[in-house]
Amino acid sequence: MASSKSGESYSASSSKRDMIARGVKKPNNIGTATFVGARALDPFLQYSILGQGLGNGLISRLGGEVLPQGPALITNSFLDTAIGLSPYRTILFAMSAGSMLKQNMTVLAYTQEEVTPQTGLVVGAFNAAMNSVNSLLFVCRQTSASTNGEHFPQSPLIVGSILYATGIAVELGSEVQRAVWKRDPANEGKVYEGGLFGLSRHVNYLGYTMWRGGYALAAGGWFWGAITAGFFAYDFTQRGIPVLQHYLEEKYGEQYDDYKQTVPYKFVPYVY
């Protein structure tokens, strides 16, 4: 059994820094329901900030100026009355809803490890906080990525949307590929080396960093986008990846050593 450089096992050391109950593969209906419910509330919160003025008082008390909303999106469909946001704000709202749907689908259809109620609440609160900061930064004129009265489109929105869509596709696509492969009984006990995981051993973490950075960029501009992407890149490379790698080295032994030789990149393909 492999161990960390300090000689300690995963359960004795790295597991304390892990947010997932690795190897605990059992259903927890209350935990799953808590996760799904907590994440499902987020789009309503972001809509309240973007379209109903929630947070405007806070912005004013902090000395900021609320950005007036641009003309509503016109699609000649039910969306015109159901949403009623400007095109720019509609896309930001869609980013909140899209990330919620992605994470809930993953938990309901592909996650094997137990999801505890505590995990569900923590993940829900963290995502709500991150997305709310994005929304508040956008509706504050001094920090908004929109610099010309929400005229559409603008460079931060274009680049941010591309990063967001690519990141969601990479994260979800890689996890679906792996989950489908694992469902084949012939692959039990084997390391998955195919699909997008053939480019990077933790390519799903890269996807998450991309869409988080893109969402932040579209809402709060270039500086906030860089800060957000940098934060998650640092957390994954300094905590998430080493912790997960320790677990996988113990679980798969030489198989995982071979995988590291075949795919030497931990995070960004051909870079790191």
**Three-class secondary structure assignment of the chain:** CCCCCCCCCCCCCHHHHCCCCCCCCCCCHHHHHHHHHHHHHHHHHHHHHHHCCCCHHHHHHCCCCECCCCCCCCCCCCHHHHCCCCHHHHHHHHHHHHHHHHHHHHHHHCCCCCCCHHHHHHHHHHHHHHHHHHHHHHHECCCCCCCCCCCCCCHHHHHHHHHHHHHHHHHHHHHHHHHHHHCCHHHCCCCCCCHHHHCCCCHHHHHHHHHHHHHHHHHHHHHHHHHHHHHHHHHHHHHHHHHHHHHHHHHHCHHHHHHHHHCCCCCCCCCC
Provide the residue type at 51 as one letter: G
pLDDT for res 20: 79
Predicted confidence pLDDT, tens digits, the chain (272 residues): 444 455 788 877 777 787 777 778 889 999 999 999 999 999 999 999 999 999 999 999 999 999 999 888 888 788 777 889 999 999 999 999 999 999 999 999 998 889 999 999 999 999 999 999 999 999 999 999 998 878 877 999 999 999 999 999 999 999 999 999 999 999 999 999 999 999 999 999 999 999 999 999 999 999 999 999 999 999 999 999 999 999 999 999 999 999 999 999 999 999 99
pLDDT for res 49: 98
Is the CA virtual torsion 201, 241, 225, 160 positive or negative? Answer: positive
Task: Measure the CA–CA gap between 70 and 92, rounded to whole angstroms.
Answer: 14
Number of alpha carbons in the 13 Å side-chain half-sphere of residue 255: 13
Q: Which two tokens stand for residue 98?
A: 């899209």
Phi, psi at 21, each rounded to 5°: -80, 80
Task: Measure the CA–CA gap between 25 and 137, rounded to whole angstroms.
Answer: 39
pLDDT for res 5: 54
Number of alpha carbons in the 13 Å side-chain half-sphere of residue 162: 6
For the chain, what's the residue count?
272
The radius of gyration computed from the CA coordinates of the chain, to the nearest angstrom, equals 20
Angle, helices 117-139 vs 203-235, to 10°: value is: 70
pLDDT for res 77: 82
Closest CA to 176 of 198, 195, 199: 195
pLDDT for res 2: 45
Task: Measure the CA–CA gap between 129 and 127, rounded to whole angstroms.
Answer: 5
